Chains A and B, each alone.
Chain A
C-alpha cells in the first residue's frame, strides 16, 4: 500500500508568487491535514479536511487556502509568498480525523 504522497518534494519561489502543494492520502483515508514546520520547531496546524469539507483552520493568514477533491486528495495554496513562508509543508492522512495520522515526506518550500 502506498503511503501519503506529496508533490513536489522541493520548490523555490520568489516573494509575491503563488504556490500549490499537492497531497494524496493513504487509500481509504478520508481526512487530510496540512502542517507547516519551520526549522527547530514542531509542526504547526494549518488546515484539516474531511469528506471535502474544512473541519479546522489554524492561525494562518487568508493567503493560505486549501481544498479536498472527491478522491480525497488535497491541495494547499499559498498566495503572495513571503520569506517567512519558507518551511517544510507536511500533509497527514487519517481514517476519520481523530485516528492515527500518517505523514507524507513533505514539500520543502524556499522563498527567495
Chain B
C-alpha cells in the first residue's frame, strides 16, 4: 500500500531557529513529491520535486529530494511566527489519476 510518513508530527521552536521537516514515502510508481503549507484551510503550494539532489529554494524555505533513499526534507531558516502552520508532504504517482497521497502533516509552532 502506498504510504507517506512525515516526522516529527509536531514541533515548537522560537523565532530565528532553523527547522528541518522530514517526509519518507513508499509509492509504487513515483512521479513527484510536493510540499504544502496549510494555515487555516487551503493548503498553499510550496515546492514540487521531481529529480534527486536538486535543491529548490524560495526565500527562507528550501527542499531536496532523495529518490534512492525515498525521502525529502523541507528546511526553514530564521523562522518567524508567520511560519506557524501545518506542513504537508504529498506524493504524486505516475498513473493518469493525478492522485496525491498525503502524509499526516507536521504542525510547526514558532514562538516569539
Contacts and interface: CB of A to CB of B under 8 A. Distances in A.
Interface string B23-63: 00000000110101000011111001000000000000000
A90 B45 CA distance: 14
Given A42-B88, A98-B92, A103 B42 contact: yes
B43 A90 contact: yes
Nearest to A3: B42
B108 interface: no
A108 B42 CA distance: 11
Contact of A100 (B4, B42, B48): B48
Contacts of A101: 34, 45, 98, 100
A28 interface: no
B97 A100 contact: no
A33 B34 CA distance: 15
A106 B42 contact: yes
Nearest to A102: B45
Interface residues of A, number: 30
Interface residues of B, number: 26
Contacts, number: 75
B96 A55 contact: yes
Interface string A42-77: 111100101000011010000000000000000000
A45 B99 contact: yes
Interface in B53-107: 88, 90, 92, 94-105
A106 B43 CA distance: 9
A58 to B, nearest CB: 7
A58 B99 contact: yes
Given A45-B101, A88-B41, A106-B41, A97 B96 contact: yes
A108 B41 CA distance: 9
Nearest to B88: A42
A97 B36 CA distance: 17
Given A90-B42, A100-B48, A105-B42, A42 B104 contact: yes
Looking at A42, A48, A94, the one whose CB has the most chain B CB atoms below 10 A away is A42
